[in-house]
Chains A and B, each alone.
Chain A
Amino acid sequence: MSAVTVRISDDALALACGADAVADAFAAAGCTVIRVSSWGMHWLEPLAEIDGHGFGPLTPGDVGAVLAGTSPLGIGRIVAHPFIARQERLTFARAGKIRPLSLDDYAATGGWIGLERARELGAEATIAEVTRSGLRGRGGAGFPAGIKWTTVAKAPSPRKYVVCNADEGDSGTFADRMVMEGDPYHLIEGMAIAGFAVGAQRGYVYIRSEYPHAIAKMRAAVERAAPIIAPFRIEVRVGAGAYVCGEETSLLNSLEGKRGEVRAKPPLPALEGLFGQPTVVNNVLTLTAVPWIMANGAAHYASVGFGRSRGTMPIQIAGNVRHGGLFEVGFGITLGELVMDIGGGTASGRPVRAVQVGGPLGAYHPPSDFHLPFDYESFAAADALIGHAGITVFDDTVDLSAQARFAMQFCAVESCGKCTPCRIGSTRGVEVLDRIRARTGRVADRVETLPQMHNAKKGARTLSEDIALLTDLCETMKFGSLCALGGFTPYPVLSALRWFPEDFGLPARVQEAAE
């Protein structure tokens, strides 16, 4: 057989599933192996592509059958696969198609056109273009990127920064990692455009230490791309295992070499950010949307989407789901389509009971929420958030009171300690939830039984009193915390309580027709 060319991903997820061994087996069989970015069809990894046809998930033992044409693991043409064909890939246009660190591949697939056009248009027109596109921050808050850039551009300072928030700590999210490992020059181009537009000289990419492969790829890419983006300079910095550093002000403190404690706002980072200088802090997905907007025009980008959420969102389908992976599509697709049609329901084959959207700080949704269109406003109206667009699917074995306790416990472990509602509230939340889960009630302690404590309750607290206490505590955390860690932890807790009261010892919800 003449040399067959086999394309296999070298993305961290493919490696974790054993892609290297499969690649070695193809090489040993005389094939030319090319390591490329991942298509994002994770249930098929390690996925091999031969002449546009996909085979997966493979083990080294399957290689012989694939080459002989007798493998049952073929999925046909990859671009025609429903999971890929249904997507609208703008940010992930190169996924599966390029060698991540090849400057030739990047330039041949439309790379650097956005940066060139920005330089032709000038800084002001570049910001105007981004503003017109309607691009909103993809980190979770959904703040308009153009407005943030305008603030930084207008701030009078000779020293400005662009900081890319690549501290992707939310469970159920991996889009930032896939960009950095599969298309690193794309992020670099986005940062260079941002730097040019606001007049910044330096950029930092803050990557979490749990992503060693992304760190290595970004470091290599930054070095190779340096002459192209000059005089703008980018440096990769590594986090140190603190979830809270995904919050922008805490991230800035961490970059400065301090404890990752949250800062009070104002002052906004756009005016007083890194080392007190005007700073653009944007998520990886926000910055990688920019080169496409600059190359293809704001109007084209804004023509996709739903309501005030314009453009596409790289949605990450994860957890107990059959077809997990990266699904980029215009805003407005419903949650049910994502979980059932595209995700194919649970991997365990059991019924879907709950879906958490937006990471550890996102709400749990029952299947009755499957009609919700995926956009910022629709989710906010349903007391929920889309966050970084991670969807974690759970089957009917999940205990939502345990998940609520986990949310509080996670907040307690990861709290930076700066504000009281988060630091102490989370621990008290774990305690209340433990009592609710054990159905023990709380007996009055020594202080409460003192004769002078007239108003303290002397008997045991009932379940409904504990539930009221939990709700009240959540209210305090939601409105009293400095940042989203303490402020959003109530979302998973209260949504679990609202939709799945039977898991907390309360009567189940009556099925309402209008729900």
Chain B
Amino acid sequence: MAPMTPTELDRILAAHAGREGALLPILHDVQAAFGHVGEETVRAIAAALNLSRAEVHGVVSFYHDFHETPAPRPVIKLCRAESCQARGGEALAATLAGETRVTIEPVYCLGLCSVGPNAMVGDGLHARLNAARLSALVENVALENVAGESRA
């Protein structure tokens, strides 16, 4: 994970300077760059946009995409909405109970409702999952994470 250098945050803030309703685009860039939106960052964003810290914190905490602390494990977003439920998604989710190497987050609809159950890792999409395919996906994500950590 990139260290939270002030220059990187300054660059993000400068890129959005003068934009209408700049807070969400800024938070997306911060979340992408640092993996979370920390307290110091909230302070800096509030100062740059002439908002109170409470206002920025309110926005960060409202949206599911922004996190105040970095995710401890790699995340697999598994769709839990109706269309995936109709195709056996809940039984599939149950097979991952007790999985500790990755975090399974619910997501409500990936727009692939005719070929579920579906999952998303980063921007990568996975459709027509069954227990075997999902377990292979978990295995891959967990292995990549271990490989990434040993490189770092």
List residues of A whose CB falls within 8 A of some B CB: 12-13, 15-17, 42-43, 45, 168-174, 177, 209-213, 237-243, 254-261, 275, 316-321, 324-325, 347, 356, 359-360, 390, 392-395, 398, 403, 406, 410, 414, 416
Contacts and interface: CB of A to CB of B under 8 A. Distances in A.
A16 B119 CA distance: 9
13 contacts: A12-B125, A16-B110, A16-B125, A171-B109, A240-B64, A241-B64, A255-B21, A257-B22, A258-B23, A318-B113, A319-B114, A359-B82, A394-B86
Nearest to A13: B112
Contacts of A42: 114-115
A276 to B, nearest CB: 12
Interface string B57-72: 0110011111000000
Contacts of B63: 239-242, 260
Interface size class of B (residues with CB under 8 A): 35 or more
A17 B114 contact: no
Interface string B11-24: 00000000011111
B138 to A, nearest CB: 17
With a 10 A CB-CB cut-off, give which of B23, B81, B82, B87 has the most chain A CB atoms: B82
A198 B86 CA distance: 43
A317 to B, nearest CB: 7
Contact of B118 (A16, A170, A211): A16
Contacts of B66: 240
Contacts of B116: 319
Given A238-B24, A318-B114, A394-B86, A17 B107 contact: no
Given A213-B125, A241-B63, 15 more contacts: A13-B112, A13-B114, A170-B109, A171-B81, A177-B111, A209-B28, A243-B108, A258-B59, A316-B114, A319-B114, A319-B116, A320-B87, A321-B114, A324-B115, A347-B87
B25 interface: yes
Given A256-B21, A319-B87, A406-B85, A43 B114 contact: yes
Given A17-B115, A259-B59, A319 B83 contact: yes
Contacts of A359: 82
Contacts of B108: 169, 171, 243, 360, 410, 414
B113 A17 contact: no
A211 B107 CA distance: 12
Contact of A356 (B58, B82, B110, B115): B82
Interface in B22-40: 22-25, 27-28
A242 B62 contact: yes
Contacts of A324: 113-115
A17 B111 contact: no
B32 to A, nearest CB: 11
Return the 8 tightest CB-CB contacts between A and B, nearest first.
A324-B114, A257-B23, A241-B64, A171-B81, A318-B113, A240-B63, A16-B125, A319-B86
Contacts of B9: none
Contacts of A169: 108-109
Given A13-B127, A242-B63, A324-B115, A393 B21 contact: no
B78 interface: no
B81 A360 contact: yes
Given A42-B114, A237-B24, A243-B108, A319 B82 contact: yes
B111 A240 contact: no
B20 A172 contact: no
A17 B128 contact: yes
